Each structure stands twice: as C-alpha cells, then as structure tokens.
Amino acid sequence: MDSSSLDAAASVLAKSKYLVALTGAGISAESGVPTFRGRGGLWEKYKVEELATPQAFRRDPAKVWSWYKWRMEIISKARPNFAHVALAKLEEMGLLKALITQNVDGLHRRAGSKNVIELHGCIWRLRCTSCDYAEEVEEPVREVPPRCPRCRSLLRPGVVWFGEALPERELKRAYQEVSRADAMLVVGTSGVVMPAGMLPLLAKERGAVVVEVNVEESAITPYADYFLRGRATEVMKALFEGICERLGKSP
C-alpha cells in the first residue's frame, strides 16, 4: 500500500461533502464469500448460463436452487469484516451518504449500514414466480426448489440474473446518489458488469473524485484519481483511521 496516496485519499475523502460508495464481491472475499472473477472465482468453476439466467431457472429450477442454497450456506456462516464495518462507521459519522452494492450477501446491512442500495438484489429475499408473495429468510432454504406457501408455484431468489433488468427503484436511487456525489469510494469490484460498473465514471464525469480499493487493477483503475492497492480490510482500516484523524474523531 502506497502511504502517500493513502494520505492524499484520506484527506480528499475527509473533506468531501457527499461521499458515495460502490462495493463488489471483493469486499466480502475476506469474510469467506467467493468472488465471481479471478482465480478461484465462481465463474471459473460454474457456468453463468446454467445457473444465473432466467432460462436456466426455467430449464432446471432444482439445479439453480441447489447452487443458491450452497451460496446461502456459505454466506450464513460469514460475518461482516472490517471493510464492511468501516463503511457503516463512515455513514454513522455523517460522511458517507449512500452505499451502492452489487453484492447479494446482505453483509453491509448486517454491519450496520443503513442507506444501502442493493443493485443486484439480495439472496435472502425470496419471491414467488406467479403471485406477489415475497419473504425475507435468515437461513438457507430447506426444500429445493422451494415453493410458494400461498400458491405452490416456484419461489425464486430475489437476485438479478443475467439478461434481467435491474430493480427500477434501486437503479433510480443509485443514479440520484451518484449525481450528488463529490467523492466516490469504490471497493472490491472488477467494474465489468453494467450498469453498476459505470457508476464511478458517471460520478467522475460530474467532477467527483474517485478513490479505488482493490487487490488488483480493474476496469475503474484507469480513471480513478487514487488507486489504493491491497486487501479491503487492510486498506479500509488505514483509510478509516486517516479520515478519522483528519476529522478529529477517534476511530
């Protein structure tokens, strides 16, 4: 981690008036939740078109659900890490105004973040494929595939699959927050899935400063004002402490 860019980024973020964060799978990696791309990523072992599309679900709902049940089991054992906690604390301090995430694991909310925009939905929210039944669960589903208690149709995970539109309300909120941002903190995303991946660019085009935290370069790095290379927990700890110091608050 380069300490001069870390100090400079901490100063810029501490002075910001409207800080918005964007997170991806990398922020939950150290909680034990696998990422999608890169070495050991889910898309290396599994095929998107067999597991994460509406067609795959129509073809073989049990197969799709077994995969989601397995992911639910992993996530249910995971705990928010310091990077999640730091973002929750920055919001509590009044500095971070909104957190846009592509993650479906719910770890930001568990860490205490309030204004969370879950652009790709949440794995813990189930909804019926026929009626308007929906529920939030806390444990992995038992029955595979699970059925609607009201109409016995199939339930589906409340996540966005490839080829599906993003939830309109969340997307609108995300654009609104980005349009207000004078600083954007991007943590642990490859930045290749749209439209989430282009939010930092939109912010940048409107004059916001972009600070990126990632173990490696991403699609966002070429235009990031500060690229802080390292693991999310380590960089976020140093960044959080640097921000607190500049704001005269104890971390």
Give the active site residues: 120
**DSSP alpha helix (H) spans, 93-185:** 107-111, 168-180
The yes or no reply on residue 231 touching ligand OAD (CB under 6 A) is yes
The yes or no reply on residue 36 touching ligand OAD (CB under 6 A) is yes
Q: How far is the CB of 110 from ligand OAD (least distance, A)?
A: 18
Only one residue has tokens 């964060």, namely: 21
63 close to 50: Cβ distance less than 8 angstroms: yes
The yes or no reply on residue 57 touching ligand OAD (CB under 6 A) is no
For CA atoms 223, 227, 231, 237, give the dihedral sign: negative
| Among 188, 204, 210, 244, interactor with ligand OAD by CB under 6 A | 188
Options 66-74, 84-92, 131-139, 209-217: segment touching ligand OAD (CB under 6 A): 209-217
Q: Which residue lies nearer to ligand OAD by CB, 182 or 230?
A: 230
- Taking alpha carbons only, the member of 171, 227, 183 closest to residue 90 is 183
200 close to 224: Cβ distance less than 8 angstroms: yes
The yes or no reply on residue 35 touching ligand OAD (CB under 6 A) is yes
- C-alpha angle 124/146/78, rounded to 5°? 30
Q: Which residues within the stretch 143-172 sit at the binding site for ligand OAD (CB under 6 A)? A: 160
Q: Which residues within the stretch 106-125 sit at the binding site for ligand OAD (CB under 6 A)? A: 120
126 close to 157: Cβ distance less than 8 angstroms: yes
Catalog residues that contact ligand OAD under the rule CB under 6 A: 24-26, 29-30, 35-38, 41, 52, 102, 120, 160, 188-190, 193, 213-216, 218, 231-232
